[in-house]
Structure 1
Amino acid sequence: MTNISMELSLEQREDLFSILKERFEKNMNRHEGIEWAKVQERLEANTEKQWSLHEMERTGGEPDVVGYDKENDEYIFYDCTAESPIGRRSVCYDREALESRKKHKPENSVMDMANAMGIELLTEEQYRDLQKLGNFDRKTSSWVKTPDAIRKLGGAIFCDRRYDTVFMYHNGADSYYASRGFRGSLRV
């Protein structure tokens, strides 16, 4: 097993903060009333969260602040790329689904990738909230957190936006497609 450093170099951190600040300032409708300086201050104090955001960015997620949880004093980031993150596509839902495939296994699963990145998979409710901030997944789709009852029966759910409407669908958890990835969230 490789030993992966979860701490960014100074250059990586500066690049990440620059990208996040620029995206934050270009998309103020996603986080009205939130100040970048306070977000950056929180990020500077948490190297593990910096690493997770770097992974979100590296895999094409374009993370951005979408809210603030006052009760828990946390800033909330979601993947805000127009289409499902390119570096997180062609994956089945979870390890069980991956292992159940006899032929043509994908390289990874959504849940394994999210865990390795230190992020949470969006729920259907979070996905619908994201869609209030823009038009996402108009050509792709994204796996979302599947309720246990559905998963126990072998299924998993995903969402997309077509015809100016957000749809939720189902598929076998072991399925995977080049146009389906997943979006994550991170609390800082």
Structure 2
Amino acid sequence: MTSKEYSPEQREELFETLKDRFEKNMNRHMGLDWVKVQAQLEANTDKLWSLHEMEVTGGEPDVVGYDKTTAEFIFYDCSAESPKGRRSVCYDREALESRKKHKPENSVLDMAADMGIELLTEEQYRELQKLGEFDLKTSSWVQTPDNIRKFGGAIFCDRRYDTVFMYHNGADSYYAARGFRGSLRV
């Protein structure tokens, strides 16, 4: 899809992919019903493009919760490793522009905004890790507090030794094994 509109066939293919993933991973969304999720998606077709972008960049989005206050289903990237199509990027535009040599093609915050998704917070990342084991070989940037970012840093997380770790790095750094995970509310 090159635009935010696509055919009924593409929409059905996305629904099939999401439904199959939903049914194979019921531990991620106990007590939720796919029929209600699909109805919500059909009522909010503007969100389908973002889910598609999550999918094609390797995020394998899945429902991880329901917010009763806002009546929204919450999707997170649930790929085993940080999404392949979102790696080798520095943290934000400021970090990207500060690099003198070997600039990455994009930044995490710009990509997330272009996709219409939010970068996971450290807390959301830790919640995701309760649903499975993610980032055993990779790491994922997470939202960085202003007090860290103002000094040029950014934070990322991974899972090693059956423990979830949070680390820091220069916001302008980028690695082939570090991407980012996003969330979307529908």
Short-chain TM bin: over 0.9
Give the match's secondary structure for 1:142. Answer: strand
- The one of 147, 150, 173 aligned to 1:149: 147
Q: Which runs of 5+ in 2 are unaligned?
A: none
Aligned counterparts of 1:21 and 1:97: Cα–Cα separation in 2? 38
Q: Which runs of 5+ in 1 are unaligned?
A: none
Q: Say whether 1:161 aligns with 2:159.
A: yes
Give the match's secondary structure for 2:159. Answer: strand
The letter for the 2-side match of 1:88 is R
Aligned to 1:29: 27
- The one of 9, 12, 18 aligned to 1:11: 9
Residues 1-188 of structure 1 correspond to what in structure 2 (within 5 A)? 5-188=3-186
Offset at 1:11? Answer: 1.5
Give the match's secondary structure for 1:181. Answer: strand
**Alignment: residue pair count:** 185
The letter for the 1-side match of 2:164 is V
Aligned counterparts of 1:76 and 1:118: Cα–Cα separation in 2? 14
Offset at 1:45? Answer: 1.4
TM-score of the pair, normalised by structure 2: 0.98
Give the match's secondary structure for 1:66. Answer: strand
Identity fraction in percent: 82
Aligned counterparts of 1:115 and 1:9: Cα–Cα separation in 2? 23
